[in-house]
Amino acid sequence: MLRVENLTVKFPSRFGDVTAVEDMVMSIDVGEIHGLVGESGAGKSTVGAAIIGLLQKPGYVADGDMMLGDTDLRRLDRFEAHALRGKRISMIFQDPQTSLNPLMRIEDQLIETILAHEDISVADARTRAVDLLDEMGIENAAARMQSYPHQFSGGMRQRVVIALALCTNPELIIADEPTTALDVAVQSQVLDLIRRLADVRKVGFMLITHDIGVIAQIADTVTVMRHGKMIENGPTAQVLGQPKEDYTKQLMAAVPPLDRKIARFKVPDEDGIITPSEARGNAAEAWLMRGIKEDPIGLTLDQVNVAFPGVRTSLWKKPDPYVALRDISFDVKPGTVVGIVGESGSGKSTLAKTLTGLIKPVSGTMTMGGAPLPGGRERARNHPSRQLIQMVFQDPFSSLNSRHRIGAILAEPLWLYGLETDKDARRKLCIDMLSLVGMPPEAIDKYPHQFSGGQRQRIAVARALLARPKVLICDEPTSALDVSIQAQLLNLLKGLQAAFGLTVVFISHNLSVVRQMADDVVVLRNGKIREVGASETVYTTPTADYTKRLLALTPVMPAAWRA
């Protein structure tokens, strides 16, 4: 149905044209789900945008053919193209939170779309809309349809989005990371829905995602992309099962498995990442040893509760607080890694902030190595824990001050905690630390924006280590990274943890990743602990149903495919 031949998309820039997609070839049949997989910057989304004709200015299709049935998409003028959108091709965006007009009722948005393409009465349009929402699994759609987007939960919203994309019965739907913003539970529901639509309604899907698990689960055929080029394509089982290309193999190797813990990922040296040079690495290593190796330190949380003031709605009565964490109690044994898993809103990050003293618990006690650990503002700026507990954040793009040089960022903890008073010594130490995390020494004089996400995350780790911490808190350190980069970072963290006997609290929504890191696991949901235990037991014989469900729903690849 859709045939794309040597499609080439270019973006003019002041450095001349940048080729975003080159000689792309693919085809999608009726009712086929075609996965388009690749790491960030691979040009997946650009392909989708080119097909539906929504390339961001000033990008343009430089070459190639795009045929939808017998319509040549490149020959259409502005108006024909617009008329075709929705009618025959439609699109689903990543974030359901932002893809609906917040000021319009769902009903209006649906009806408006239907009427835009079909000459039927409003009443008919409404009935169709209702049926559609039913089909999407929204109870008493007729009533719910009157609501505004903000009145739906994320999953529901994505269903509405899909309904909107479907309401005009398009032949092809381009789904750009449709489940990335969703929790596993919702994700699997949405994936099922897509599968069903493909089978029942015979809609063709182009499923753009970076998550190989998702592809493996529902894609019939798959195209692997890198740097705007097609690496290989074909039936999913064949491409992912017996990959021909090295890149595909590496990709598969980097995917963390859910069902077992692997010591080290097999990853190629990413460009820019150097293997720690003995001299330098050791220097920093020795410096760290002096501070850390002896007596690692543990954490204990006892009956910790965290609540935020709710939104005030009356002059008189105080709003009921919103409880973020309820009766949290667990131990982090010295020198071990505790993984904390949970869906969004489970309170993972709140927990991290509480430990680091950004948030004050309303009740409960925290201790570090037996000594009480005050929370929030009560923790003095010069409290020892300020130094001993360091954190690695989720977003590598915002965790480093983009206006400061790497050198300044790294040196900050050194002088702040008076660990190294001499300026030159600080600089040298920073350079060594960089090489320890696998970064070249030149990096020290550059600005964060000159590095990739993975590199920044390494720098963030270096910054944390330079405080000579005993406890390292990692809040979703890899969730913004591509799998291969994620693999590298996980390797790094494992290495450092082993080397310096760091106590690590590793927070992630991704069970597979946590399994690779954690000795013990804490499963959070809605601010409550559902299950605690050694990760082996929790992963193999979960007791809480919630844990069971999570494990069941996480998309996995057939064991057979593993390289």
Partner 1 sequence: MVYFIAKRLIQSVFVMLAVAFLAFSLFRFVGDPITQMTGVETSVADQERLREDLGLNDPFVYQFARFTGDMLQGDFGFSYRTRQPVAEMIATRIPATLELGIVALLISLFVGIPAGVYTALRPRGVATQAILMLTLVGVSIPTFVIGIMLIFFFGVQLGWLPTFGRGGTVHLGGWETSFLTVDGWRALILPAITLGVYQLTLTMRLVRAEMMEVMQSDYIRFATARGVPMGRLYFKHALANTMVPVITIIGLQFGGVIAFSIVTESVFQWPGMGLLFLESIRFVDIPVMGVYLVVIAFFFVLVNLIVDLLYVVIDPRLRIRDVS
Partner 2 sequence: MRDFIKRYEGLYLFSRSPAVIIAAIVGLAIIIGAVFAPWIAPVNPYDLSSFSLMDGLLPPVWEEFGTERFLLGTDDQGRDMISSILYGARLSLIIGVSAMIIATVLGVGLGLAAGYFGGRFDAVVMRIADIQLALPAILTALLIDGIARGILPPEVQEDVRVAVLTIAIALSLWVNFARTARASTFVQMNKEYVQAAVMQGQHPIRVMFVHILPNILGPLLVIMTVDLASAILLEATLSFLGIGLPADSPSLGTLIRIGMQFLLSGEWWILWIPTLFLVALVVSINVVGDFLRDVFNPRLR
Q: Give the binding site for partner 1 (CB under 8 A).
A: 52, 54, 82-87, 89-91, 93, 95, 98-104, 109, 112-113, 116-117, 147-148, 150-153, 156, 161, 164-165, 168, 312-315
How many CB atoms sit inside 10 A of residue 312's CB?
9
**Region from 59-67, 218-226, 286-294, 445-453 binding partner 2, contact rule CB under 8 A:** 445-453
Q: Decide which of partner 2, partner 1, none touches 113; Cβ closer than 5 to 8 Å per partner kind.
A: partner 1
Q: Which residues of 49-61 are buried (b: 16+ CB within 10 A; e: fewer)?
A: bbbbbebeeebeb
Q: Which helix (H) or strand (E) holds 90?
A: strand 89-92
For partner 2, the binding residue among 353, 426, 470, 530 (CB under 8 A) is: 353
- DSSP for 495-557 reads HHHHHHT-EEEEEES-HHHHHHH-SEEEEEETTEEEEEEEHHHHHHS--SHHHHHHHHHS---
Residue 322 beta carbon to partner 1: minimum distance, rounded to whole angstroms: 12
Q: Are 505 and 517 in contact (CB under 8 A)?
A: no
Residue 186 beta carbon to partner 2: minimum distance, rounded to whole angstroms: 25
- 275 or 314: CB nearest partner 1: 314
- 127 or 401: CB nearest partner 2: 401
Residue 45 beta carbon to partner 2: minimum distance, rounded to whole angstroms: 18
| The one-letter amino acid at 467 | A
Q: Are 139 and 150 in contact (CB under 8 A)?
A: no
Tell me which residue has tokens 């769902």. Answer: 106
Q: Decide which of partner 2, partner 1, none touches 382; Cβ closer than 5 to 8 Å per partner kind.
A: partner 2
- Helix ranges restricted to H, 324-441: 348-356, 384-388, 406-416, 423-436
Q: Classify residue 166 as left (phi > 0), alpha (psi -120 to 50) or beta.
A: alpha
Residue 93 beta carbon to partner 1: minimum distance, rounded to whole angstroms: 5
Q: Does 312 bind partner 2 (CB under 8 A)?
A: no
Residue 23 beta carbon to partner 1: minimum distance, rounded to whole angstroms: 25
- 151 or 401: CB nearest partner 2: 401
Q: Are 185 and 342 in contact (CB under 8 A)?
A: no
Q: Does 398 bind partner 2 (CB under 8 A)?
A: yes
- 96 or 413: CB nearest partner 1: 96
Tell me which residue has tokens 């343009």. Answer: 60
Q: Decide which of partner 1, partner 2, none touches 165; Cβ closer than 5 to 8 Å per partner kind.
A: partner 1
Q: Are 504 and 322 in contact (CB under 8 A)?
A: no
Q: Decide which of partner 1, partner 2, none touches 421; Cβ closer than 5 to 8 Å per partner kind.
A: none
**Region from 198-206, 233-241, 269-277, 411-419 binding partner 2, contact rule CB under 8 A:** 411-419
For partner 2, the binding residue among 150, 317, 318, 381 (CB under 8 A) is: 381
Q: Does 450 bind partner 2 (CB under 8 A)?
A: yes
Query: What's phi and psi for 196, nearest 5 deg?
Result: -60, -45
For partner 2, the binding residue among 5, 327, 395, 536 (CB under 8 A) is: 395
- DSSP for 303-358 reads EEEEEE------SSSPPPPEEEEEEEEEEE-TT-EEEEE--TTSSHHHHHHHHHTS
**Region from 16-24, 97-105, 340-348, 444-452 binding partner 2, contact rule CB under 8 A:** 444-452
Residues contacting 245, CB < 8 A, separation 6+: 224, 231, 232
**How far are the Cα atoms of 91, 121, 233 from residue 219, in angstroms, in the given order?**
17, 37, 12
**Region from 154-162, 164-172, 265-273, 356-364 binding partner 2, contact rule CB under 8 A:** 356-364
For partner 2, the binding residue among 45, 187, 209, 399 (CB under 8 A) is: 399
Q: Which of 547, 415, 435 is nearest to 492 (CA)?
A: 435
Residue 398 beta carbon to partner 2: minimum distance, rounded to whole angstroms: 4
Q: Decide which of partner 2, partner 1, none touches 494; Cβ closer than 5 to 8 Å per partner kind.
A: none
The sheet carrying 2-13 orders its strands as: 16-28, 2-13, 60-68, 71-72
Residue 29 beta carbon to partner 1: minimum distance, rounded to whole angstroms: 22
Distance CA 430, CA 284 (A): 8
**Which residues form the interface with partner 2 (CB under 8 A)?**
14, 353, 356-358, 379-383, 386-387, 390-391, 393-395, 398-404, 412-413, 416, 447, 449-450, 463, 467
